[in-house]
Amino acid sequence: MKKKNTISNLIKLLTPLFVIALIVQSCDQAPKEAEKVQIVEVEEPEYFLLRPETEKAYGYSHAVKIGNDIKISGAVSMDNDGNPTAVGDFEQQMKNCYADLDKILKHYGCTFDDVVVENVFTTNMSLFLEHAAYRNTIYTKQFPTGSWLGVKELALPEFMIEIELEVHKTE
């Protein structure tokens, strides 16, 4: 009986050592396939101000580019001093929004073909729907995803429409 206990104790002692030896041996072996290492460069955001004084006064940047993606704040119909333009003229306000958005896209070397999301905010959805066909002159290849939202009011009471974009710039 004593011999049986000694063998049993020896097995209990040697088993963990055997397992550790197997682990160490497997760690020393080279991998069968070369491991792929991907280096990711961290890109700093690039900010763009279309109307620096107005944007600083209201506390926003008109666009931010990170990597291949650009987020463009809502464009409204305003002059360079931040005053509403085309007051009461929905169609002209819409055209003014797209004109400002075009300037921002061009700054980044993009066109409306690079837009992947367009969100429209309007205080008068029926007027937007009446003039929505104008977008066919803006998006000539395909339409982006997005939402059309009827809202109670925008930043200033004269604004009837605001359009924001998300862009993916292909290199």
Q: Is the pLDDT of residue 124 over 80?
A: yes
The reply to whether 2 falls in a domain is no
For residue 164, the domain's CATH number is 3.30.1330.40
Q: Is the pLDDT of residue 22 over 60?
A: no
pLDDT in tens, 31-42: 556 667 777 777
Q: For residues 40 and 168, which has the higher predicted lDDT (pLDDT)?
A: 168
pLDDT attached to residue 20: 58
Residues comprising the chain, all counted: 171
pLDDT attached to residue 27: 55
Percentage of the chain beyond pLDDT 90 is 74
The reply to whether 136 falls in a domain is yes
The reply to whether 4 falls in a domain is no
pLDDT in tens, 79-97: 999 999 999 999 999 999 9
The reply to whether 72 falls in a domain is yes
| Overall domain count for the chain | 1
**Confidence label for 43 from pLDDT (cuts 50, 70 and 90):** confident
The reply to whether 134 falls in a domain is yes
The reply to whether 14 falls in a domain is no
**Alpha carbon 139 to its chain's center:** 20
The reply to whether 102 falls in a domain is yes
Spatial separation of the C-alpha atoms in residues 67 and 65, rounded to whole Å: 6
pLDDT in tens, 132-160: 999 999 999 999 999 999 999 999 999 99
Strands (E), the chain: 46-48, 63-66, 69-75, 115-122, 145-150, 161-168
pLDDT attached to residue 37: 78
The CA-based angle 145-94-103, given to 5 degrees, is 80
The reply to whether 38 falls in a domain is no
Residue 65 is part of which domain span?
A: 46-168
3-class secondary-structure state, position 129 = helix
pLDDT attached to residue 85: 98
